[in-house]
Structure 1
Amino acid sequence: MTDRSRPDLDDTTVEALGKLSEALETVEQARGFLYAFHQLSGKADILLGEAVDGLREAGATELADDLERELVGRNVVADRWTFQVVEDYDAGYWSTFRAFDARAREELAGGDRHVLEARMKQRERTPGAPRQEAGPALDEQPPS
């Protein structure tokens, strides 16, 4: 198929697929924030360990001992470090969401992605104007 806007699909289907795609993009953003949370929490724990060493070296051994016992290496969520939260999110919610998005696109649009956006591009571009070409065609897209 050469027309990315898929004129063969009805507007309701295209809009619903567009909403599903937008929802998945939001989940992808959340996943990125979750990975940032994971990395920042890990960095904070390393810095905390360094602070504990410094406090101990400065003679504040009771404070250092309390911090080490109560906070260094502490679970951020009940029974989990951040890598476990990330793994649960990926294995459960994120992968399931992606699978349903792929299924919906396959069942309703032959696997084509971003049909709503392609229609928007068709509406908003100026045909014949430089840098406003319609392409590339669907059959020129890399596999999803």
Structure 2
Amino acid sequence: MAIDEEHTRPAGVDDLTVEALGNISEALEAVEIARGHLYAFHRLSGTADLTLGKGVDQLREAGHAALADRIQEELVGRNVLQGRWTFQVVEEYDDGYYADFKRLERAARDEIVEGKRHLYEAEMKEDRRTHGRPGHERTP
């Protein structure tokens, strides 16, 4: 049987600790997904503003200058939050909450389990797989 030292818990680490680190890792995964949605929000908001600008130009070209001017002045290039475009929201999130979350999750793993990742999942895989069956190998 192949040994997977990268996913073997260090001696003396109890089940509750592995479960706790697994939950912290799962929480980080949720933060990563939230970050992806934030970047999608950033991209979609930018696309909306650029597309809106094209629509405003077309309204003006079609002879609706007053309405085009109103939309241009009130909405095109507007902040999505007080004083912020979406790139500023993304930067603040990345540099603050996200960076701190990643740093502290890593610190917990480094301090307790020699930096090893996904110990909870690796042990779950070992428990759930059918030993000796193709497609159920421990390691690649």
> After the TM superposition, which residues 114-133 of structure 1 pair with which residues of structure 2 at under 5 Å, given as runs?
114-133=118-137
Structure 1 unaligned segments of length 5 or more: list them. Answer: 137-144
| Alignment counterpart, residue 99 of structure 1, candidates 95, 103, 106 | 103
Query: Identity over aligned residues, as a percent?
Result: 57
How many residues align structurally? 136
Tell me which stretches of 4 or more aligned residues in structure 1 moved more than 6 Å: none
Shift of 1:135: 2.0
> After the TM superposition, which residues 1-144 of structure 1 pair with which residues of structure 2 at under 5 Å, given as runs?
2-3=4-5, 4-6=7-9, 8=11, 9-135=13-139
Greater CA deviation, 66-75 or 125-134? Answer: 125-134
Greater CA deviation, 123-132 or 107-116? Answer: 123-132
Structure 2 unaligned segments of length 5 or more: list them. Answer: none
Shift of 1:7: 6.5
The alignment's TM-score, normalised by the length of structure 1, stands at 0.90
- Root mean square deviation, CA, Å: 1.3
Greater CA deviation, 123-132 or 71-80? Answer: 123-132
Contact 1:21 1:114 (8 Å CA) reproduced? yes
Deviations 1:11-52 (A, max 9, x none): 110000000000000000000000000000000000000000
The alignment's TM-score, normalised by the length of structure 2, stands at 0.93
